[in-house]
Amino acid sequence: MKELHNRILKDGHALSETVLKVDSFLNHQVDPNLMYEMGTYFKNYFKEHEITKIFTIESSGIAPAVMTAMQMNLPMVTLKKQSSKILNGDVYQTTVHSFTKAMDYELTLSKKYITAEDRILIIDDFLANGEAALGAARLVEEAGAQVAGIGIVIEKSFQPGRKVLEDKGYEVYSLARIAKLGEGLIEFVE
């Protein structure tokens, strides 16, 4: 996605060989026009996949996921990273390890927002090691539903996430694939 590549080069900051900061347009301040374009790309790619719902993990995936859901005219469900007292235990949960934050968290899905007949498109902001997407997929499959695809805004292609997901049989579509990062260096997969 050319618009996203340009925005990453203009406003993204490679802080190290593994950290890309894009908080000025994706995950702190959000550019709604860019999110809308992302939704268009995801909709066009996955339009023949018979998607019934869009899932994302709070919080950085919400903007691109809601724009995708809006364009596909489908409900969007947010998987929670923290327990909620109002969910009353009627949930699916799985443990996910965050390499970025160096901690584990419980990913939670309310049972009332998924059925065995659902075909889920998972949208996430970053793909690095694949842990978050795998956790979301585990919840979908625990409910008896099917993961119809995984849409990623920015993939760190030098990390193993894509291979991990594809080895499990998931179709992965990324809007931007980063080949290499370094302090002040951002290179895309050609």
Binding residues for 5-phospho-alpha-D-ribose 1-diphosphate: 128-132
Two tokens, residue 39? 């939704």
Q: Which residues are annotated as a binding site for xanthine?
A: 20, 27, 156
List Cβ<8 Å contacts ≥24 apart for 25-34.
26/60, 26/63, 26/125, 26/153, 26/154, 27/59, 27/60, 27/125, 30/63, 31/7, 32/63, 32/67, 34/3, 34/4, 34/7
User: CA-to-CA distance for 67 and 190, rounded, in angstroms?
Assistant: 27
Q: Which residues are annotated as a binding site?
A: 20, 27, 128-132, 156
C-alpha dihedral sign at 67, 99, 22, 81: positive
